[in-house]
């Protein structure tokens, strides 16, 4: 039995969950087809998903097609939940990208397809909703070719579009048109096939082409396209056969060393953590001690493996499979199990660009609110819970308003906490404006720590994150001290000169000094003469902040790319609005009745645009948007400090560290924060 871990991806409402339900029915896993509209599907199982009719969390189900066990992961399509899609990408062997035959290729479809192609994930395309009024086939196929990829192979034809009787007929052997189109697409990507094609077109057998189609699909070079309807079931059998024939099986040696990735974390009924993991290699058995994340270990207490429907208790989970693991108490999303997988797709989509303060309606709920948000952050790390100690407020990062509503409803439904939000603001970043260095030598006043460090901060490329380099000789500093410097430096960069995360920079260790472990004659360790990792943890933020202040930083805000379709008579007021919003807009297409505008706008102004659009376009305007990187904030004060940033407190904190006040260093702060390192004023 082969295993295939398959993701279903699409823009919102394309029909992913309905198609999942259909596939489960076709495979005999369920006797009755559930409906998103009635809240009765297998994968939209959360109460909130059923109420709202949208998918919020990715969900795994499994079914069997002949000799293949398919673990299917249904993902959310709303851009506010893109983080759920990102986490799933690292565990897929293949994907089905769903496109609505009515709405066609959307901005989100393009974002997803680009990512699938970049990661070389073999992908089939399914054009859904052919039964709905307004469904198109040739136009959608042309849009796919133009906007997603030219390397497509339509696998059949749709008929009676826009009616309940809409159907899909797969092309068969003997269909000359299909064979010729397949040969064209495939020969363009395979020299041997091209040579054979040029020599004698007729000699290329249908079998050979079909075989080559599977090979190129598995290499993510070509994307077969199917049509159908998740509601009537049209085309679903052909898609099922395509999944089996054209997508690759999971690879991996069950006897090799354990290697896997955790892509989802859930809490069980008793509050216990459950990790969803895909194994790439090896076998994990119940009661095994398992290494995960960065140097953590725990005993696996129970395992469930996805098999014919849901997850069933098993003694082990092996390479290729997806398992639910109990017992890994501190596990986090994104943790690796055992040996880290050779490749990790890393960050594919933009981080959240909004943040908001969460306020409990009843002040007495403050503690409970923090606990509840911490649990939500386990399941969605990008929420990035932060505590502002100065203002005694809790902040979360968000993608958008729908996610905000979902957080609010989850707090009310699952935790019994009524909470509100302050105004949503954008999250900026800081990048070094130049280079800056600082050095503190060991034993030289006023350095109070038994550690010597020199650090230089240089600008890095856009999107490069934080890179850590050494200009000292390897071995000049014990590894544990070096690790302490790197960890503390990364933490300290969480808050730059203006209070934003510092990124796209290179931190280089230029000097180091330490005093080796000293003991008295009777063998006791003498701290007053020996450097410890704590000395390095305390000194690093001081040196780094001095270097950063010398380099100077500049604040950048997120921008969005947009595409706006509107009636032609709305063009003038729209251009005036866009200019007021500091947007750069270009008229792409001006017809008699309609116009298309494209451009970029600061993310902070998008909400205003969304609010004004219906008024200016009589409700006919359609706005699509996607993250477009960071640009320097504009206006008189070009470096905008974060709202809760108080440089005086940061200075006070650094002074505390410098004076070596016990318990006030980053080591303690690290346990308390995910955002600020400031001491609370009343405890100083």
Ligand X SMILES: Nc1nc2c(ncn2[C@@H]2O[C@H](COP(=O)(O)OP(=O)(O)OP(=O)(O)O)[C@@H](O)[C@H]2O)c(=O)[nH]1
Contact positions vs Mg ion (CB under 5 A): 16-17, 55
Give the shortest CB-562-to-ligand X separation in angstroms.
Answer: 21
12 binds, among ligand X, Mg ion, none (CB under 5 to 8 A by kind): ligand X
**Could you say whether residue 54 binds ligand X (CB under 6 A)?**
yes
499: left (phi over 0), alpha (psi -120 to 50) or beta: left
**Could you say whether residue 673 binds ligand X (CB under 6 A)?**
no
Residues 6+ apart with CB under 8 A from 356: 395, 396, 398, 404, 421, 422, 423, 424, 425
229 binds, among Mg ion, ligand X, none (CB under 5 to 8 A by kind): ligand X
**Could you say whether residue 16 binds ligand X (CB under 6 A)?**
yes
Give the shortest CB-54-to-ligand X separation in angstroms.
Answer: 3
Give the shortest CB-56-to-ligand X separation in angstroms.
Answer: 8
**Could you say whether residue 37 binds ligand X (CB under 6 A)?**
yes
Coil vs helix vs strand at 606: helix
221 binds, among Mg ion, ligand X, none (CB under 5 to 8 A by kind): none
Candidate segments 74-82, 519-527, 570-578, 663-671, binder of ligand X by CB under 6 A: 74-82
84 binds, among ligand X, Mg ion, none (CB under 5 to 8 A by kind): none
Cis peptide before 415 (omega within 30 of 0): no
Candidate segments 203-211, 224-232, 429-437, 658-666, binder of ligand X by CB under 6 A: 224-232
C-alpha to C-alpha distances, 294 to 266, 297, 315, 380, 667, nearest whole angstrom: 20, 9, 26, 19, 17
Give the shortest CB-32-to-Mg ion separation in angstroms.
Answer: 18
223 binds, among Mg ion, ligand X, none (CB under 5 to 8 A by kind): none
Whose CA is closest to 207, among 179, 243, 241, 184? Answer: 179
When the beta carbons of 37 and 173 are compared against ligand X, the nearer one is: 37
When the beta carbons of 128 and 179 are compared against ligand X, the nearer one is: 128
CA distance 449 to 444: 9
Range 100-129, binding ligand X (CB under 6 A): 128-129
**Could you say whether residue 18 binds ligand X (CB under 6 A)?**
yes
Residue 26 tokens read as: 């076709």
When the beta carbons of 10 and 112 are compared against ligand X, the nearer one is: 10
CA distance 35 to 122: 28
171: left (phi over 0), alpha (psi -120 to 50) or beta: beta
Whose CA is closest to 22, among 170, 171, 241, 240? Answer: 240
Give the shortest CB-17-to-Mg ion separation in angstroms.
Answer: 3
Coil vs helix vs strand at 114: helix
Residues 6+ apart with CB under 8 A from 501: 427, 429, 430, 493, 494, 495
Beta bridge partners of 602: 559
**Could you say whether residue 76 binds ligand X (CB under 6 A)?**
yes
**Could you say whether residue 140 binds ligand X (CB under 6 A)?**
no
Give the shortest CB-53-to-Mg ion separation in angstroms.
Answer: 9
Beta bridge partners of 459: 505
Residue 289 CB coordination number (10 Å): 9
591: left (phi over 0), alpha (psi -120 to 50) or beta: beta
When the beta carbons of 81 and 559 are compared against Mg ion, the nearer one is: 81
Among 4, 6, 27, 36, binds ligand X (CB under 6 A): 36
456 binds, among ligand X, Mg ion, none (CB under 5 to 8 A by kind): none
Q: List interacting residues with ligand X (CB under 6 A).
A: 10, 12-18, 36-37, 54-55, 76-78, 128-129, 131-132, 229-231
């Amino acid at each position: 039995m082969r295993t295939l871990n398959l993701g279903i991806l699409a823009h919102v409402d394309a029909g992913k969950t309905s198609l999942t339900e259909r596939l489960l029915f076709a495979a005999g896993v369920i006797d009755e087809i559930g409906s998103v509209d009635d809240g009765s599907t297998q994968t939209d199982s959360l109460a909130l998903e059923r109420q709202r009719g949208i998918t919020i969390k990715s969900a795994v189900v499994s079914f069997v097609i002949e000799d293949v066990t398919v673990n299917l992961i249904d993902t959310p399509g709303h851009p506010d939940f893109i983080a759920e899609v990102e986490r799933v990408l690292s565990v897929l062997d293949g994907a089905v990208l769903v496109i609505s035959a009515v709405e066609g290729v959307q901005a989100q479809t393009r974002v997803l397809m680009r990512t699938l192609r970049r990661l070389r994930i073999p992908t089939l395309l399914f054009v859904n909703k052919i039964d709905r009024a307004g469904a198109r086939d040739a136009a959608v196929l042309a849009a796919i070719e133009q906007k997603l990829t030219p390397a497509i192979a339509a696998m059949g034809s749709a008929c009676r579009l826009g009616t309940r009787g809409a159907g899909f007929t797969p092309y068969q052997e003997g269909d000359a048109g299909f064979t010729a189109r397949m040969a064209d697409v495939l020969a363009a990507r395979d020299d041997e096939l091209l040579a054979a094609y040029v020599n004698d077109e007729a000699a290329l057998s249908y079998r050979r082409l079909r075989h080559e189609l599977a090979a190129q699909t598995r290499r993510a070079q070509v994307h077969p396209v199917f049509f159908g309807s998740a509601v009537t079931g049209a085309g679903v059998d052909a898609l099922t056969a395509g999944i089996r024939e054209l997508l690759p099986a999971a690879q991996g040696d069950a006897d090799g060393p354990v290697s896997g990735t955790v892509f989802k974390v859930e809490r069980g009924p008793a509050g216990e953590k459950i990790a969803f993991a895909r194994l790439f290699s090896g076998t994990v058995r119940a009661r095994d001690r398992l290494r995960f994340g960065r140097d953590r270990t725990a005993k696996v207490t129970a395992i469930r493996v996805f098999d014919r429907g849901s997850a069933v208790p098993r003694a082990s989970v092996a390479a290729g499979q997806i398992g639910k693991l109990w017992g890994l108490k501190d596990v986090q999303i994104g943790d690796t199990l055992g040996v880290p997988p050779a490749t990790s797709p890393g960050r594919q989509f933009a981080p959240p660009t909004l943040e908001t303060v969460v306020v409990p309606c009843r002040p007495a709920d403050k503690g409970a609110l923090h606990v509840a948000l911490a649990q939500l952050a386990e399941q969605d790390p990008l929420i990035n819970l932060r505590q502002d100690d100065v203002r005694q407020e809790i902040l979360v990062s968000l993608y958008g308003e729908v996610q905000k509503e979902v957080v609010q409803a989850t707090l009310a439904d699952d935790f019994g906490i009524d909470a509100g939000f302050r105004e949503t603001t954008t999250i900026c970043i800081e990048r070094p404006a130049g280079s800056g260095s600082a050095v503190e030598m060991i034993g030289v006043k006023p350095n109070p720590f038994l550690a010597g460090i020199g650090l230089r901060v240089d600008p890095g490329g856009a999107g490069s994150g934080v890179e850590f380099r050494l200009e000292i000789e390897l071995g000049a500093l014990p590894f544990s001290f070096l690790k302490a410097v790197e960890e503390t430096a990364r933490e300290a960069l969480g808050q730059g000169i203006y209070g934003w995360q510092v990124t796209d920079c290179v931190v280089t260790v230029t000097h180091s000094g330490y005093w080796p472990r000293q003991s008295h004659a009777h063998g006791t360790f003498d701290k007053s003469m020996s450097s410890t990792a704590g000395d390095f943890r305390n000194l690093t933020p001081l040196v780094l902040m001095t270097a950063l202040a010398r380099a100077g930083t500049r604040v950048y805000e997120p921008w969005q790319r947009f595409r706006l379709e509107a009636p032609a008579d709305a063009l003038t007021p729209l251009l005036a609005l866009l200019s007021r919003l500091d947007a750069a807009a270009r008229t792409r297409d001006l017809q008699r009745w309609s116009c298309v505008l494209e451009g970029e706008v600061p993310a902070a102004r998008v909400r205003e645009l969304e609010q004004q659009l219906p008024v200016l376009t009589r409700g006919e305007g359609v706005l699509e948007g996607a993250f477009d990187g960071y640009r320097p904030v504009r206006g008189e004060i070009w470096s905008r400090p974060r709202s809760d940033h108080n440089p005086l407190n940061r200075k006070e904190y650094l002074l505390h560290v410098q004076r070596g006040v016990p318990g006030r260093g980053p080591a303690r702060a690290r346990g308390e924060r995910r955002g600020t390192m400031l001491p609370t004023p009343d405890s100083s």
